[in-house]
Structure 1
Amino acid sequence: MAERSLMLVLHDVAPETWPDYRPFVEAVDALGQIPISWLVVPNFHRRNRLDDHVEFRRLLDGRLARGDELILHGCYHADEAPEPRTPRDWFMRRVFTHEGEFYPLSREESARRLRHGIELFERNQWPLYGFVAPAWLLGSGAREALAATGLTYTSDPGHFYLLPDYQAIDAPGLVWSARSAWRRGMSRLLSERMLHRYQRSPVLRLGLHPVDMRHPFSRQYWLDLLIRLLADGREPVTKIDWLDRHVLTSSAAA
């Protein structure tokens, strides 16, 4: 079977969500050298300024030293724009999610928030290649602003997009809705179906959220699934390492 890779991705990384993730990360570390991609929010809901949390920044320094990747994940991870005016916008911003921060923003405001996050990474000397919008939602203004940053990629649940042209690369991902017992049950069924469908996919992403970690059912599923996929021969990699190996190098050669 051709080489198959695996990415373990933690969303909504912030000082207040670290207690949710910590037992899981410790369990993953106990399995061996498994790189993790951390989606870092500069100021989660405006109450988690990373600049105010020295110990948490040192923790992220240590993760980089282990071979993990830090990825910019929004700025505030909160949709603070004026109320939606169209049925589509109402669905996207009030039904699908309340945290699609970069969906309603203008190009100028998107650029300001992106620069805020990029400067945070620069101050901490954290290498930065990717940006993932909260809830994976990018409005037209945000797409234009992101394309001008010089970053390498963004992503949604099914693809990577190489910047600045948004060239799509298939990269299926599993993600749960874990807010209630019935959602967790349905998420497990859907995940197992997707695993069968993408068994031979060159890459598979596991997208975890803090709420997954608050319920033993979902937390244990993710850990057991990671162990299953490793035993099945998938190689754990970060996002940028996989792109460097399988996409960017070949594109440069062409």
Structure 2
Amino acid sequence: MAETGSAARSLMLVLHDIAPETWPDYQPFVEAVDKIGGVPMTWLVVPDFHHRNPLHRSPTFCRLLDRRLALGDELALHGYYHADDGAPPRSPGAFFMRRIYTHEGEFYGLDQRQALARLEQGLAVFERQAWPVAGFVAPAWLMSEGTRQALRQLPLRYTSTPQHLYRLPEFTAIEAPGLVWSARSAWRRRVSKVLCDWQCQRWRGAQTLRLGLHPVDMRHRVSRDYWLHTLQALLAEGREPLTKSAWLDRQASA
């Protein structure tokens, strides 16, 4: 496993599930971050969120993403539909991952051919919009072996899981621990806060921390405020905010 190469401490602010219908959830938070100033974000863009948000039908939203790129943010590919509509699971383990843990593990059950076609379809959307793209993050961070093989065939620089970034095509693992909430219910939000507070202490000396936000986090004041306050606290500690690509460049040049 590769070690992080830079001594400077950093953070990455990552917005998951970016689509026209999720932008109203994120907008107040993004505006608050913009007021802080100097915090680039990585936006994980879904080309057709849940089969009802094709980007080509939302030119205003695409222009918004154009502006975010001009401000120094990064766009990464985040699945294509962000919905698991594949063949039914064939084992108890697959049933748990695809029907209990999440219904959005789009790339969990795909073979190499299916994954490659879906990835190329997503990259074509980015190409039509003239958006640079270096990274792919699977919905729910769930990737089949076929997906991993497909990624090795594409001109992408990285993918990630909750605790690592992987430099492609070799899948070289680089430690990059991440904080994430499960905010769908009150008890989940309570548990998430306790867990993330503990992780912040545990990883206090980590060279980088990723903050992985989701639209549902933005719908509850406790989780939305948590992310904003955590971001401000990490900045006050002297952590430098970077996009995923910028952080990966630092590792390559160290």
**Coarse TM-score class (shorter-chain normalised):** over 0.9
Secondary structure in structure 1 of the residue aligned to 2:136: coil
2: CA distance, partners of 1:92 / 1:59: 34
Counterpart of 1:75 in structure 2 is 80
2: CA distance, partners of 1:20 / 1:160: 27
Matched, 1:139 2:147: no
- Displacement, 1:109? 1.2
* Structure-to-structure mapping, 1:94-173, within 5 angstroms: 94-173=99-178
CA RMSD in angstroms comes to: 0.8
Counterpart of 1:17 in structure 2 is 22
2: CA distance, partners of 1:37 / 1:140: 25
Give structure 1 stretches of 5+ with no counterpart: none
- Displacement, 1:179? 0.5
- Displacement, 1:96? 1.2
Give structure 2 stretches of 5+ with no counterpart: 1-6
Matched, 1:193 2:198: yes
Secondary structure in structure 2 of the residue aligned to 1:102: coil
Residue type of the alignment partner of 2:109: P
Q: Post-superposition, which runs of at least 4 consecutive aligned residues in structure 1 deviate over 6 A?
A: none
- Displacement, 1:166? 0.8
Task: Indicate the percent of aligned positions where both proteins have the same amino acid.
Answer: 60
1: CA distance, partners of 2:224 / 2:238: 22
- Displacement, 1:248? 2.1
Residue type of the alignment partner of 2:30: V
Residue type of the alignment partner of 2:126: F
Count of aligned pairs between the two proteins = 248
* Structure-to-structure mapping, 1:25-40, within 5 angstroms: 25-40=30-45
* Structure-to-structure mapping, 1:156-235, within 5 angstroms: 156-235=161-240
| Cα-to-partner distance string for 1:26-85 (whole Å, 9 max, x where unaligned) | 000011121000000000011000011100000000000000000000000000012111
- Displacement, 1:210? 0.3
Matched, 1:249 2:253: yes
| Cα-to-partner distance string for 1:111-153 (whole Å, 9 max, x where unaligned) | 1111111111111111110000000011011111111112000
2: CA distance, partners of 1:248 / 1:134: 26
| Cα-to-partner distance string for 1:200-245 (whole Å, 9 max, x where unaligned) | 1111000000000000010011001111111111110000001001
Q: If the length of structure 2 is used for normalisation, what is the TM-score?
A: 0.96
2: CA distance, partners of 1:203 / 1:49: 34
